Amino acid sequence: PVSRTPEIQEERLKLPILSEEQAIMEAVAEHPIIIVCGETGSGKTTQVPQFLYEAGYSSEDSIIGVTEPRRVAAMAMSQRVAKEMNLSQRVVSYQIRYEGNVTEDTRIKFMTDGVLLKEIQKDFLLLKYRVVIIDEAHERSVYTDILLGLLSRIVALRAKRHLPLKLLIMSATLRVEDFTQNQRLFTTPPPVIKVESRQFPVTVHFNKRTPLDDYSGECFRKVCKIHRMLPAGGILVFLTGQAEVHALCRRLRKAFPAYSSRPREKEEEDSAEAMRKFKKSRTRARKAQAMTLPQINLDNYSVLPAGEGDEDREAEMDDEEAALGSDLDLDLGDDALGGGEQLDASLPLHVLPLYSLLAPEKQAQVFKSPPEGTRLCVVATNVAETSLTIPGIKYVVDCGKVKKRYYDRVTGVSSFRITWVSQASADQRAGRAGRTEPGHCYRLYSSAVFGDFEQFPPPEITRRPVEDLILQMKALNIEKVSLGSSNHIPVLRVKQLQQSRLSCPITALGRTMATFPVAPRYAKMLALSRQHGCLPYTIAIVAAMTVRELFEELDRPAASEEELNILKGRRARVAQMKRTWAGQGASLKLGDLMVLLGAVGACEYAGCSPQFCQANGLRYKAMLEIRRLRGQLTTAVNAVCPEAGLFVDPKMEPPTENQVTYLRQIMVAGLGDHLARRIQSEELLDNKWRNAYKTPLLDDPVFIHPSSVLFRELPEFVVYQEIVETSKMYMKGVSTVEVQ
């Protein structure tokens, strides 16, 4: 029996989903798989787990699992549900990749979708769960999609064993056809329970013009106007990343200094300081983790390369440096207030940031009522779009943009880019304004631009390379994976044990590769390095290639003569160190990969100190990550090959000449499809091919990047780690291939 407080009980009764409790529970009783769909804020995430708990769908050894695509939701929702149910976090708990509070008493477990996928690798039938809820299925995150493919099979296998598993799929938008109309996924379409929402009308206002780039400034002006001229009601602003969020918060606080005499003000005003501390403590935690590297338990990390598909979080991480450097924005605030207007201290605005990486106690602030006589203004990334519902919002200001990872199909290069959202996302954002009363949404772009938005965001699985996922699926004995269906949810066929060895089962090599938490091409290098003492070197190189961009960007334009001279000096120093690390003769043939090895070796030798990194143009943060990954890979290799007895040697000797030759062969084995051949002088038809290379996949010439130690060597055959396109297409991470 659950004893909720009267206040909580009253709040719950306001949620539309409460009136569907009976319908949902009847459907769950009668069907193995059901779909619950309802507007954001209708109570799906917080209430459905409670319904199941109260109906007895959890016991000591079979619990309720809930997956979320975002870490922030897994943590926040477990806290909220524990509070509503008056239970401790020992009972309602969460698990994300690196942390969690699950105990043996846990009955409801919120987790990221990546965590559940990892559990399937250990226990294919998920026997410890009685119910699995896949939340936010409409987001179509890659792990959620894979989970749906797997769970549709697991539910059938569990039924055969008379240990039924219930699967609930919860979705916010009307995109349920993706799940119901997929005959290959669910032979009988699961019943859909629609939660009627009490959405109030939202008036959408488009800008006449679309600002070219300063949408942050446009947001600032819009919030100022709303706050000055419109009746009470909270404001929610959508921006794309942490740096922007902080900059806008500071500008708004400066424009409307609300609590100058309150002690609370200090804490609020000082979010930049808090960020700095948070960052420091994380760095410290990372350092502490790095110190204990060789002891890392295999269970502590996912064997899935990406681990968690929390794109927001990654996108925000990219921002970290920028967030700290953006104090410059601060003073721009005043003139934007316009002709002769004064700072207005009489209008208190309670400004709060919200994004994935924000410390949880700061995130929780947005759910509290703002101080008496102030107006709430939350400046958020797209976490506020569907995963978290902020109460009391009447005005939404939408910049219309989102930061997304973008993959180039040809080069395989990935980067974060700010793009327009989809129409569905824009409508979700607008909907946040009509939860408690009629509201307004201000779109900072024209209706014509909106008309050009795509209808839905494409599922993540269509936007990223999938070789790592296919390998993992094969390692799970999934016989067949087809992504061919129109809506891209993977359809999986689980291999029956008795009919094994049919249709390309995973090879021994593939199985070994699947245990390493890096991309398959690097995993292959590791798996092939057992002989001749090459493993420690391959591990170091693979760690460096996975972390990427070891060297600071020194090609940036300089603001002054003085800075230019400093930059020139540093560039010369880095070039010299690269030559030293690359060495001569045999070792130079390993090219940039030898440089990586030399840099990692030298940096470790110097204790991986910030001073060493600074002096040699290395990114300190990257070097710490490499150190950590080296530890993880060493543990993983020892697990499949205990006789190797590897450890992370801070005083690693350089490889011998023979070892360098083997290393080059190993690199070619992993980068075999990244081969390029130099254009011979007799083939030179057009000058644009001078010093160029030809690759199998591209029609255009590619070049060795000027930062490469092989830039002047121009070997006939090379393999490369990646191609980046700037003024030309450049190969980076180049190594020589010898043709016998």
Cβ at position 44, least distance to Mg ion in Å: 5
Asked if 426 and 398 count as a contact pair (C-beta separation under 8 A), the reply is yes
By a kind-dependent CB cut-off of 5 to 8 A, residue 246 interacts, out of Mg ion, ligand ADP, none, with: none
User: b vs e for 710-719, b when ≥16 Cβ sit within 10 Å of the residue's Cβ?
Assistant: bbeeebeebb
Angle at 197 between CA 58 and CA 14, to 5 degrees: 65
CA-based nearest residue to 303, from 534, 35, 74, 639: 639
Asked if 80 is part of the footprint of ligand ADP (rule: CB under 6 A), the reply reads yes
Pick the closer one to ligand ADP by CB: 83 or 463. Answer: 83
Beta bridge partners of 437: none
Query: Minimal distance in Å, beta carbon 41 to ligand ADP?
Result: 5
144 binds, among ligand ADP, Mg ion, none (CB under 5 to 8 A by kind): none
Write out the DSSP string of 686-733.
SGGGTT-EE-SS-SS-EEE-TTSTTTTT--SEEEEEEEEESSSEEEEE
190 binds ligand ADP (CB under 6 A): no
405: partner contacted, choices ligand ADP, Mg ion, none (Cβ within 5-8 A by kind) = none
Output 425 or 707, the one with its CB closest to Mg ion.
425
Nearest-approach distance from CB 43 to Mg ion, in angstroms: 8
Give the nearest distance from C-beta 638 to Mg ion in angstroms.
Answer: 41
Measured from the CB atom, the residue of 76 and 108 that comes closer to ligand ADP is: 76
Q: Which is nearer to Mg ion, 167 or 523 (CB)?
A: 167
Q: Out of 16, 27, 45, 244, which residue is the one contacting Mg ion (CB under 5 A)?
A: 45
Minimum gap (Å) between residue 95 Cβ and ligand ADP = 19
For the segment 356-385, give every residue that binds ligand ADP (CB under 6 A).
Answer: 367
Binding site partner of 389, from Mg ion, ligand ADP, none, Cβ cut-off 5-8 A by kind: ligand ADP
H helix intervals, 111-214: 113-122, 142-160, 177-180
- Nearest CA to 131 out of 32, 216, 39, 205 is that of 32
Give which of 733, 736, 719, 730 is closest to 672, Cα–Cα. Answer: 719
Q: How far is the CB of 250 from Mg ion (least distance, A)?
A: 30
Quote the least distance from Cβ 34 to ligand ADP, whole Å: 15
CB of 383 to ligand ADP, least distance (A): 12
d(CA 546, CA 625) in angstroms, rounded, equals 10
SS3 607: coil
Report the alpha-carbon distance of residue 527 to residue 630 in Å, rounded.
15
User: Which residue's entry shows tokens 């890979």?
Assistant: 633
| Beta strands 702-704; 729-737: pairing state | parallel
293-307 in b/e form (b: 16+ CB < 10 A) is: beebeeeebbbbbbb
Q: Which residue shows structure tokens 């296998």?
A: 157
E strands, 165-315, in order: 166-171, 192-195, 202-206, 234-238
Residue placing its CB nearer to Mg ion in the complex, 45 or 736: 45
Please choose which of ligand ADP, Mg ion, none residue 490 contacts, taking the beta carbon within 5 to 8 angstroms, the exact cut-off set by kind.
none
As a whole number of angstroms, the distance between CA 670 and CA 534 comes to 15
- Taking CB within 5 to 8 Å according to partner kind, which of ligand ADP, Mg ion, none is near residue 545? none
694 binds, among ligand ADP, Mg ion, none (CB under 5 to 8 A by kind): none
Interaction partner, residue 67 (Mg ion, ligand ADP, none; CB < 5-8 Å by kind): none
Q: Are strands 129-134 and 108-112 parallel, antiparallel or unpaired?
A: unpaired
Q: Which of 389, 634, 695, 735 binds ligand ADP (CB under 6 A)?
A: 389
Interface with ligand ADP: number of residues (CB under 6 A): 15
User: Which of ligand ADP, Mg ion, none does residue 605 bind to, with CB < 5 to 8 Å depending on kind?
Assistant: none
Residue 289 tokens, joined: 């983790």
Pick 302 or 389: Cβ nearer ligand ADP: 389
Contact (Cβ atoms closer than 8 angstroms) between residue 568 and residue 617: no
Residue 391 binding result from Mg ion, ligand ADP, none, given CB thresholds of 5 to 8 Å by partner type: ligand ADP
Q: Which is nearer to Mg ion, 44 or 250 (CB)?
A: 44
Residue pair 676/720 in contact (Cβ under 8 Å)? The answer is yes
- The smaller minimum CB distance to ligand ADP, of residues 40 and 93, is found at 40
Stretches 37-45, 217-225, 637-645, 701-709: which one binds Mg ion (CB under 5 A)?
A: 37-45
Interacting stretch for Mg ion, rule CB under 5 A, among 42-50, 187-195, 266-274, 479-487? 42-50
Looking at residue 246, its amino acid is H
For 540-583, the three-class secondary structure string (H helix, E strand, C coil) is HHHHHHHHCCCECCCCCCCCCHHHHHHHHHHHHHHHHHHHHHHC
**Token pair 């070789």 in the structure block, residue:** 467
Nearer to ligand ADP (CB atom), residue 281 or residue 369: 369
Task: Give, as ranges, the residues between 321 and 340 that touch ligand ADP (CB under 6 A).
Answer: none
Q: Which is nearer to Mg ion, 80 or 480 (CB)?
A: 80
CA 500 to chain centre: 36
Indicate the residue type of 303: V
Helices (H) and strands (E) in the chain — how many of each? 26, 22
Q: Minimum Å distance from CB 139 to ligand ADP?
A: 12
DSSP 362-381: HHHGGGSPPPTT-EEEEEE-
For Mg ion, the closer CB: 41 or 348: 41
To Mg ion, the closest distance from the beta carbon of 113 in angstroms equals: 14
| Encoded tokens for 361 | 């106690």
Query: In the structure encoding, which two tokens stand for residue 181, read together?
Result: 């109309």
Residue from 15, 544, 660, 667 binding ligand ADP (CB under 6 A): 15
**Residue placing its CB nearer to ligand ADP in the complex, 378 or 539:** 378
Give min distance, CB of 136 to Mg ion, in A. Answer: 6
* Residues 326, 241: Cα–Cα separation, whole Å: 12
Among Mg ion, ligand ADP, none, what binds residue 617 when CB lies within 5 to 8 Å by partner kind? none
> Smallest gap, in angstroms, from Cβ of residue 133 to ligand ADP?
11
Helices (H), 332-407: 360-364
Cβ(318)–Cβ(343) below 8 Å: no
Q: For residue 168, which of 289, 47, 314 has the smallest C-alpha distance?
A: 47
Residue with smaller CB distance to ligand ADP, 84 or 268: 84
Q: Please state, in angstroms and rounded to a whole number, the distance separating the CA atoms of residues 709 and 445.
A: 47
Give min distance, CB of 391 to ligand ADP, in A.
5
Give the residue with the Cβ less far from ligand ADP, 41 or 217: 41
Q: Are 338 and 220 in contact (CB under 8 A)?
A: no
Residues 103 and 169 sit within 8 Å (Cβ to Cβ)? no
Pairing of strands 717-725, 729-737: antiparallel
Stretch that binds Mg ion, among 44-52, 195-203, 522-530, 610-618 (CB under 5 A): 44-52
Question: Within positions 527 to 566, which residues make up the interface with Mg ion, using CB under 5 A?
Answer: none
Residue placing its CB nearer to ligand ADP in the complex, 38 or 490: 38
Q: Give the one entry of ligand ADP, Mg ion, none that residue 43 binds, where binding means its C-beta sits below a cut-off of 5 to 8 angstroms depending on kind.
A: ligand ADP
Rule CB under 5 A: say whether 50 interacts with Mg ion: no
Nearer to Mg ion, 45 or 78 (CB): 45
| Smallest separation, CB 496 to ligand ADP (Å) | 38
State which of positions 20-79 bind ligand ADP (CB under 6 A): 38, 40-47, 76
Half-sphere exposure of 580 (CA within 13 A, CB side): 10
Count of residues interacting with Mg ion (CB under 5 A) = 2
Residue at shortest CB range from Mg ion: 45
Nearest-approach distance from CB 46 to Mg ion, in angstroms: 7
Binding site for ligand ADP (CB under 6 A): 15, 38, 40-47, 76, 80, 367, 389, 391
Binding site for Mg ion (CB under 5 A): 44-45
